[in-house]
A = this chain, B = another copy of it.
Amino acid sequence: MIVVVLAAALGGLAFGQAENWFPSRWGAADQRGAANRLTPAKVLEAKNFITTGNVYQLGRTYESAMPIFGTRHFSLRIPQAFGPLGSNKMIYHDEVVSGELGQIGTQFDGLGHIGIGDLFYNGNDRKDFAKAEGLQKLGVENVGAIATRGVLVDVAAFKGVARLDGGYEITLADFEGALRKQGTEIHAGDVVLVHTGWGSLWMVDNAKFGASAPGIGLAAAQYLVDHEIVMVGADTWSMEVVPNPNPELQFPVHQLLIPRNGIYIFENLATEELARNRVYEFAFFFAPLKLKGATGSPGNPLAIR
């Protein structure tokens, strides 16, 4: 009954698991979702892309002036130095940081981040696990390392623009077209990064950056579900198209991916260098900070060729 309502809510699309989105395919107790697709074989597949030793950092800089959603914040301060200590005059600085750490700047969304009504991945009801001191299930500490093949899909290049427009839905045709143009396939267990060019607004026009975003819609997202990926990222704050073309829907792609399919999302990635260098396949390395009971993690993932 819940399922029927959701299917309707998600715009009438026939999702693969629509009637049956929990228990998850990894069992009713699973807390890792698509991270279960990560295997030694995927590591070895990834390794083979490392041929030149070039390393791309995909994380953006965390600073208080960066685009931040709503009333979230990021604050960093350097306190007075400690010391000098000892005859060797040891002195040190540290930093105090506060913020919605898993959900500001470059951010990895865990399975406890997004729900459909009160239900999260594997049908977990938030009243049962969302506690003040941390999520008691689905915390980001369960994810583990993501070392696998990475694929960049440069949709901006496919559409012949430097930057897709805000609110532009990357259709399934766009997505498949871009892959075809690049000659890239998506494999089970991959990490997929979508380059939209929207990231060029970061710290340049923050208001425009945050007001909308190009991104995949439900159809392209379903394609990723069907191809059994682990994670999808983009150079936007939302990864998916915002606003959704269906004005009744709010972040439906997040719901399709995270609670329904256990697929992770990574936002505000710096994909521009990969795009510029046409690096469409690479070894991808990331592990969330083990923030106990957190919904996500900041990060600086690596793409290596």
Residue A141 lies at the interface, judged by CB distance under 8 Å to chain B: yes
Q: Which B residues are in CB contact (< 8 Å) with A295?
A: 78, 92-95
A76 nearest CB across to chain B (Å): 6
Q: Which B residues are in CB contact (< 8 Å) with A40?
A: 52-55
Q: A86-B248, A90-B114, A116-B91 are in contact. Are A77 and B133 (CB under 8 A)?
A: yes
B304 touches A300 (CB 8 A): no
Place the interface of chain A in its size category. Answer: 35 or more
- How far is A290 from B202 in the complex, measured between Cα atoms in Å? 15
B78 touches A79 (CB 8 A): yes
A42 touches B47 (CB 8 A): no
A77 touches B76 (CB 8 A): no
Q: Which B residues are in CB contact (< 8 Å) with A116?
A: 88-91
Q: Which B residues are in CB contact (< 8 Å) with A54?
A: 40, 43
A96 touches B100 (CB 8 A): yes
Query: Which residues of chain A from 81 to 120 have a CB within 8 Å of any chain B CB?
Result: 81-103, 106, 112-118
Q: Which B residues are in CB contact (< 8 Å) with A249?
A: 86-88, 90
- How far is A299 from B301 in the complex, measured between Cα atoms in Å? 11
Query: Which residues of chain A from 45 to 96 have a CB within 8 Å of any chain B CB?
Result: 47, 50, 52-55, 57, 59-65, 71-73, 75-96
B-contacting 9-mer, from A124-132, A151-159, A163-171, A172-180? A124-132
Q: Which B residues are in CB contact (< 8 Å) with A219?
A: none
B-contacting 9-mer, from A25-33, A205-213, A224-232, A250-258? A250-258
Residue A41 lies at the interface, judged by CB distance under 8 Å to chain B: yes
Q: Which B residues are in CB contact (< 8 Å) with A304?
A: 43, 147
- How far is A301 from B113 in the complex, measured between Cα atoms in Å? 23
Residues of A participating in the B interface, judged by any CB pair closer than 8 Å: 6, 9-11, 39-44, 47, 50, 52-55, 57, 59-65, 71-73, 75-103, 106, 112-118, 126, 130-135, 141, 144-145, 147, 248-252, 254-255, 285, 287-296, 298-302, 304
List 4 extra interface pairs beyond A76-B133, A97-B99, CB under 8 A.
Answer: A43-B50, A76-B134, A82-B132, A289-B300
